[in-house]
Structure 1
């Protein structure tokens, strides 16, 4: 095993350049003191939002401070993540985080005070040129006015927040800290530690006995606590239902989707269209059964690769070449932004002792994007790098073209640009690889990505809506009923190629996203939108790529997310984007089956 280097042993060219934010830690400290000293500026606006001029001044002041504190926090958290063992930067991040909390608390009065301005007056003010950069924010506030309660009621709900969060906190503590599983045992009798972190890796093993052991030990453990976990899940669903009813929403789903102004038909179209194409999922599970040489596929067989023993090494330098070449359909300007990132140290490339694991894209208004990697020489890391550059270019364009209050983007569209990049990369690699086994490996990964991000997440979305509807109808969410609903959905989605057992019925008990209030459907819609948009760009060329850049990447949150996607070329209120994504999945199945004839 290669020795993991220290931070000091990293070559500068392979690290991100944080001097683009602050020249030194001393400069950070100087800015910190300045901003800490500006806490209190909000006092002159409290109770004074009674004129257009005062509102404009308050919004501009809050925005300026938010931008400055954002840069402060990003510098501190990146310093910390490059070596989490260094106490100095742990303290720095904690210090910056505390300042963010103080700032948010100090300015929390602003929205309630704006809401005290009557609707007609606020509508008149927001049309004034002095509020042009805040007009859309104010429009959204006015649209939510019908669901804002009296000051006394709002205060009561806020005070109840900690109590209502208890089911989620209890589940999180139990799932992450208290729950332990028996070791999984392989075909030779060797024990393997079974944890939340190792479970999926064990299911990818070529040793079927090990896969079965991991699967049965995990779900037997969850099954032993199913009654307790049904109560924590029922608690959070009850909270969602109560909050929606208290504010006058039609349902818990109505409230959850209204937060991002997403029409409920988007949810229904997703579920219906995916259900209409479940024959493709069933075709995939049957193909998997044949490829693994099994009479019946079990649920512990759905993660292990169908294509094995493929040596697909990829150095960082090779990966950069593949990535840049694959994104050429996006045009010279797009590719040059990525080249700028590669040449000007946006990426912190290699692992070192103490470095945060995983990968992400970070940054804030007024900084370039920053990408954290822990590079390993394989093709999966190439896809991760390309994915994170999707986020980074999206952020780059939106920050360059929008004021800071509109430069972020909704979670509904957050994964589109990253999955879009991956789709272009997969298409380019498939067309340019000569090794048939590598092509099969690549297609296997694409099929698995689609299964996990579209079919699986839509199944989760269907389950989530069913249990909220049950609660709204007065039906208790018992463990037995949850098992029954989840088991039926799992059978429907995976089809006859899979031989079922009782273990999978309790999978609902381990999914933390069910505590996040109608969150999971966005994985499916984002992936499908990316598949549809990338297909358009590859088939239609430069004009479509320009539309995607101008109408999506540059827009930030300057319009409702559903409109941003529609103007880019995908109307998520219709079934067409999901149907287009299904065509991509079907084409990948066709390609996989055709290539099998060549091996």
Structure 2
């Protein structure tokens, strides 16, 4: 890691001058934007004066939103590149304040629009044909009409949002600021403070004593505070169920999925398919036991590395590998990947104060930038192709859709990125000749599948069961939550709950249970990506064309219809069965490699 960003070569830094040439240009635009947003309130009460007025206000709102996104992206990315710079902390605060100002200025828009009948809207369309360019935008809003309350009721509910979200905020404060995790010993024999950040690395330790110590230290704290965590989760679930009931949904799940217009059948199909294929996960767990030479595998052994082989990649090597691997998607895709890798889209290496992790960002009028914190590992190669998948999805969408449809549903967000990962896995397996390297690649894939499909489905099933229990009048005590979680965990991993007592408290440390039916999308996205990657690599040329059509569609249609452009029906179990078939094939291959090594 470099201590000084200014000493880093420009070729390894993103070029944010393509967004705003100078900080002064950003400040001028932020000031102008604030002044223009301030005038928007005068349109309240006039949205439905005529078709022309509806068009004028809609286009003004979208134009201001478009400029606001660009302002926010510059501020947040400048801040992310070095979070210690006070100037850019201030920029981000100003950008966040602008979003709040914008939301307040246009608070009138949806309530006024949704007071309009379909018949009167048809008259507006006839009077002002230009409104038809926003037909899908309006259609999505009108589909929520039966769940919109009176203006007075909406104001009351809006005013209660801070109260309804308080339990989730309490969880975050308790979990991130107040609880003190124990001191543990790392593999170097050093005493260190256990944190959420280093927990998984300790669970990946080769020394089983280190893994067990970290596991017991972590979950003993959650056992200690189980009743407080149960109360925050219970209150959050009650809030989800209350808001769904008030808005006339049959359940919190229906309300949550309706935000992306996803039928509940998609959720049920996922849980059904995962449960059907749990024997595959049990096989993999048994294989772990064999490779680790244990006769009593425990939950704290699930992250231990099976492979001792390192596959290092420098950034330059990884960039070349990624371009070569992704060329299978055709020249149109490859040209944009090359541009991303060579035209200042990527911030590559760590520096002091830089935000951790990796992401793809940008706005409609900018490049689809990527932030990395590069290390020369196989994992980082996968991260590069993953974020490139996001950036290509964003790029194709923005190039082919107007601003109003220039983004994509969160339901589809992880598919393009993990499709790239699956293509990389398959390509590496085609190329590798060394058994130990093949073992490492197979293990990487199986662990990713375990963590993203099986584990997230386990979370999704738990989330559904606790919402149903509350809806049926069950009190979500710590005993109820812990017993339910222990039973589910045993079902998923085949490891006796009596032998893994502390895992019953894992529910208490999962922040996603406060996100209102979010986690299932990780599992559906990963499975869909496996299906699509198989089609891209072994299907017909038109399969690649259909995939690009999906990348270009953005929000121009409903999410399930968009992914159908790629030839995928996510209400049907077939895509999941295909993904589990790939998992089974790679598990077979790993078992054969182990048998070969043992013979």
Q: 2 CA distance for matches of 1:181 and 1:473?
A: 36
In structure 2, do the counterparts of structure 1 residues 298 and 141 end up closer, same or farther at CA, with 3 Å as the change threshold? same
In the alignment, is the contact (CA less than 8 A) between 1:329 and 1:541 conserved in 2?
Answer: no
Corresponding residue of 1:543: 542
Alignment of 1:154-553 (within 5 A): 154-185=154-185, 190-308=190-308, 310-496=309-495, 500-550=499-549, 552-553=550-551
- Consecutive unaligned residues of structure 2, counting only runs of 5 or more, are none
In the alignment, is the contact (CA less than 8 A) between 1:398 and 1:408 conserved in 2?
Answer: yes
Q: Does 1:584 align with 2:577?
A: no
In the alignment, is the contact (CA less than 8 A) between 2:76 and 2:92 conserved in 1?
Answer: yes
Query: Following TM superposition, by how much is the alpha carbon of 1:189 offset from its aligned partner in structure 2, in angstroms?
Result: 6.8
Query: Following TM superposition, by how much is the alpha carbon of 1:501 offset from its aligned partner in structure 2, in angstroms?
Result: 2.0
CA distances 1:143-172 after superposition (whole Å, capped 9, x unpaired): 110011111111111111111111111111
SS of equivalent residue, structure 1 residue 416: helix
Q: Does 1:7 align with 2:33?
A: no
In structure 2, do the counterparts of structure 1 residues 562 and 187 end up closer, same or farther at CA, with 3 Å as the change threshold? closer
Q: 1 CA distance for matches of 2:338 and 2:590?
A: 33
Query: Following TM superposition, by how much is the alpha carbon of 1:38 offset from its aligned partner in structure 2, in angstroms?
Result: 1.0
CA distances 1:109-154 after superposition (whole Å, capped 9, x unpaired): 1111111212322255457631133211111111110011111111
Corresponding residue of 1:80: 79
Query: Following TM superposition, by how much is the alpha carbon of 1:435 offset from its aligned partner in structure 2, in angstroms?
Result: 2.4
Q: 1 CA distance for matches of 2:540 and 2:314?
A: 30
In structure 2, do the counterparts of structure 1 residues 292 and 229 end up closer, same or farther at CA, with 3 Å as the change threshold? same
Q: 2 CA distance for matches of 1:288 and 1:125?
A: 64
Query: Following TM superposition, by how much is the alpha carbon of 1:180 offset from its aligned partner in structure 2, in angstroms?
Result: 1.3
Corresponding residue of 2:558: 560
In the alignment, is the contact (CA less than 8 A) between 1:299 and 1:498 conserved in 2?
Answer: no
In structure 2, do the counterparts of structure 1 residues 65 and 567 end up closer, same or farther at CA, with 3 Å as the change threshold? same
SS of equivalent residue, structure 1 residue 149: coil
Q: 2 CA distance for matches of 1:213 and 1:175?
A: 20
In structure 2, do the counterparts of structure 1 residues 446 and 571 end up closer, same or farther at CA, with 3 Å as the change threshold? same
In the alignment, is the contact (CA less than 8 A) between 2:37 and 2:102 conserved in 1?
Answer: yes
In structure 2, do the counterparts of structure 1 residues 187 and 358 end up closer, same or farther at CA, with 3 Å as the change threshold? closer
Q: 1 CA distance for matches of 2:289 and 2:424?
A: 28
Corresponding residue of 1:91: 90
Q: 2 CA distance for matches of 1:280 and 1:43?
A: 58
CA-atom RMSD in angstroms:
1.6
Alignment of 1:26-65 (within 5 A): 26-50=24-48, 51-65=50-64
CA distances 1:410-468 after superposition (whole Å, capped 9, x unpaired): 11110000000111111111111232212211111110100000000001000000011
In the alignment, is the contact (CA less than 8 A) between 1:401 and 1:554 conserved in 2?
Answer: yes
Query: Following TM superposition, by how much is the alpha carbon of 1:89 offset from its aligned partner in structure 2, in angstroms?
Result: 1.5
- Consecutive unaligned residues of structure 1, counting only runs of 5 or more, are none
Query: Following TM superposition, by how much is the alpha carbon of 1:542 offset from its aligned partner in structure 2, in angstroms?
Result: 2.5
Query: Following TM superposition, by how much is the alpha carbon of 1:184 offset from its aligned partner in structure 2, in angstroms?
Result: 2.4
SS of equivalent residue, structure 2 residue 370: strand
Query: Following TM superposition, by how much is the alpha carbon of 1:517 offset from its aligned partner in structure 2, in angstroms?
Result: 0.8
In structure 2, do the counterparts of structure 1 residues 415 and 123 end up closer, same or farther at CA, with 3 Å as the change threshold? farther
In the alignment, is the contact (CA less than 8 A) between 1:136 and 1:559 conserved in 2?
Answer: yes
In the alignment, is the contact (CA less than 8 A) between 1:168 and 1:236 conserved in 2?
Answer: yes
CA distances 1:309-353 after superposition (whole Å, capped 9, x unpaired): x23211011001111111122011101100011111111111111
SS of equivalent residue, structure 1 residue 559: coil
CA distances 1:473-531 after superposition (whole Å, capped 9, x unpaired): 10111111111111111011001589732101111111110111111101101111111
SS of equivalent residue, structure 2 residue 411: coil
Mean Cα displacement is larger for which, 524-533 or 79-88? 79-88
SS of equivalent residue, structure 1 residue 192: strand
In the alignment, is the contact (CA less than 8 A) between 1:297 and 1:499 conserved in 2?
Answer: no
SS of equivalent residue, structure 1 residue 327: helix
Aligned length: 595
In the alignment, is the contact (CA less than 8 A) between 2:187 and 2:205 conserved in 1?
Answer: no
In the alignment, is the contact (CA less than 8 A) between 2:359 and 2:387 conserved in 1?
Answer: yes
Q: 2 CA distance for matches of 1:213 and 1:126?
A: 66
Corresponding residue of 2:139: 139
SS of equivalent residue, structure 1 residue 412: helix
Q: Does 1:152 align with 2:152?
A: yes
Query: Following TM superposition, by how much is the alpha carbon of 1:587 offset from its aligned partner in structure 2, in angstroms?
Result: 1.4
Query: Following TM superposition, by how much is the alpha carbon of 1:470 offset from its aligned partner in structure 2, in angstroms?
Result: 0.5
Mean Cα displacement is larger for which, 184-193 or 238-247? 184-193
In the alignment, is the contact (CA less than 8 A) between 2:186 and 2:202 conserved in 1?
Answer: no
